Amino acid sequence: MAAPSKILVFDSGLGGLTVYREVAAVRPDADFVYVADDAAFPYNALDESALVARVVGLFDELIAAHCPDLAVIACNTASTIALPALRQKFALPFVGTVPAIKPACAASVTRRVTVFGTEATVAREYTRALIRDFAQGCQVTLVGSKHLASYAEAELVGTPASDAQIRAEIAPCFIDDGKRTDTIVLACTHYPLLLERLTRLAPWPVNYIDPAPAIARRVVDLLGPPAPSRAGTSRAIFTSGQGPRAALARFSIEPQSATVAEAG
Ligand code: DGL
């Protein structure tokens, strides 16, 4: 029988759990290691070269310690800058998370689309190039949020931000120039953690695009379908050494006491 697949899912914090849950749903037989580099959260605040060095340094240790078959970079802020360096240095397949601009623009009826991510993600040349290549005639508005990823973390540990705070972050996403924004790309993996509130607080109904199901399909393309009748395991590592136990329990993940030594 083939050895079970080991999948490493990586983010700066809890946002990657929105990707983890979709991948785990299609590969329930796999063994998962969820890694949150929360000692450096938020990645939005790191400059590009420091972020690449940090992520590559962490993967040096993670790959040596866990030997994953595949890694999912469940973070737009890291993927849009660090994927080439990771793929160059390490032989295993990396599945990245980048703004879902192509499907969003294909789906928009009003041709008004917003890409909503961290300030770093919306400023990246990678994101701008996706818009140049895939806007398909849509007007695309870029909105960088300073606080929403932290609000998502707070929500998950039981200290939610107020409605007014969330409204202030999402307000610039909604453009009405005679035609209204109808599609918003969630270009930060933390934001789907707030989906219910983003939907309730929207000034008008929109389609929020979460890339996680497409990422899960990509993992199955690369690793194949699940092995029948095997139940996989899931554990989490936080670079701070402290995982939020109750939040992880909601995703059926066991925190692990061992930590990854900090890179760089
Ligand atoms: N979850 C990360 C993303 O998808 C961002 C949060 C951060 O700034 O660290 O971009």
Q: pLDDT tens, 181-191?
A: 999 999 999 99
Q: Does residue 261 have a pLDDT over 70?
A: no
Q: pLDDT tens, 134-193?
A: 999 999 999 999 999 999 999 999 999 999 999 999 999 999 999 999 999 999 999 999
Q: Does residue 262 have a pLDDT over 50?
A: no
Ligand 1 contact via 151 beta carbon (within 6 Å): no
Confidence band of 254 (pLDDT split at 50, 70, 90): confident
Atom of ligand 1 nearest to the CA of 120: 8
Q: Does residue 56 have a pLDDT over 60?
A: yes
Domain coordinates in residue numbering, the chain: 6-97+213-255, 101-210
C-alpha 168 – ligand 1 centre gap (Å): 19
What is the rounded average pLDDT of the residues 197-207?
Answer: 98
Q: pLDDT tens, 69-87?
A: 999 999 999 999 999 999 9
Here the contacts of 120-126 (C-beta below 8 Å, separation 24 or greater) are 120/43, 120/44, 120/46, 120/48, 120/77, 120/80, 120/81, 120/144, 121/44, 121/76, 121/77, 121/80, 121/187, 121/188, 122/187, 124/80, 124/81, 126/80, 126/81, 126/98
Distance CA 123, CA 241 (A): 31
pLDDT at 255: 79
Ligand 1 contact via 190 beta carbon (within 6 Å): yes
C-alpha 179 – ligand 1 centre gap (Å): 30
Whose tokens are 């290549």? That residue is 133
Ligand 1 contact via 20 beta carbon (within 6 Å): no
- Bridge partners for 187 per DSSP: 117
**Equal CATH topology for 6-97+213-255 and 101-210:** yes
Q: pLDDT tens, 87-136?
A: 999 999 999 999 999 999 999 999 999 999 999 999 999 999 999 999 99
Pick the CATH number of 6-97+213-255 from 3.90.1310.10, 3.40.1350.10, 3.40.50.720, 3.40.50.1860: 3.40.50.1860
As a three-state string, the secondary structure of 161-184 is CCHHHHHHHHHHHCCECCCECCEE
pLDDT at 1: 57
Does the active-site annotation cover 105?
no
Q: Does residue 33 have a pLDDT over 50?
A: yes
Class of the CATH domain delimited by 101-210: alpha beta
Distance CA 151, CA 88 (A): 34
